[in-house]
Amino acid sequence: AQTVTQSQPEMSVQEAETVTLSCTYDTSENNYYLFWYKQPPSRQMILVIRQEAYKQQNATENRFSVNFQKAAKSFSLKISDSQLGDTAMYFCAFTRNSGYALNFGKGTSLLVTP
């Protein structure tokens, strides 16, 4: 079974600063996918970024980037130039492939302050 652990229940960052959210996972699979989802107060689940395990290059989407360490089974999310709209719950998730369910971590509540 795959497990996903987010050790930071809550974090706070000032607007325009950079923040890093941590995630570790456990799996015996060699090929898999990792994700960060954002859930604002509207509770809509929004995909922020995706990383394929077979790719060594870290994924980047505008202000969002990841640090993927496959051997350490670590997958952190860096948000640069934080904006007030980044305030949300952030979930780290894992799946084997398309058509398989997502395993989620417990989430990190991020508050961006003015």
Partner 1 sequence: DAGVIQSPRHEVTEMGQEVTLRCKPISGHNSLFWYRQTMMRGLELLIYFNNNVPIDDSGMPEDRFSAKMPNASFSTLKIQPSEPRDSAVYFCASSLKDLSSYNEQFFGPGTRLTVL
Work out how close the CB of 102 gets to partner 1 at its nearest, in angstroms, rounded to a whole number: 6
Work out how close the CB of 16 gets to partner 1 at its nearest, in angstroms, rounded to a whole number: 30
**Kind of pairing between the strands at 10-14 and 108-113:** parallel
Residue placing its CB nearer to partner 1 in the complex, 16 or 46: 46
Residue placing its CB nearer to partner 1 in the complex, 65 or 95: 95
Of the residues 14, 44, 83, 113, which one makes contact with partner 1 according to CB under 8 A:
44
Work out how close the CB of 67 gets to partner 1 at its nearest, in angstroms, rounded to a whole number: 20
Residues that bind partner 1 (CB under 8 A): 33, 42-45, 47, 50, 52, 91, 97-107
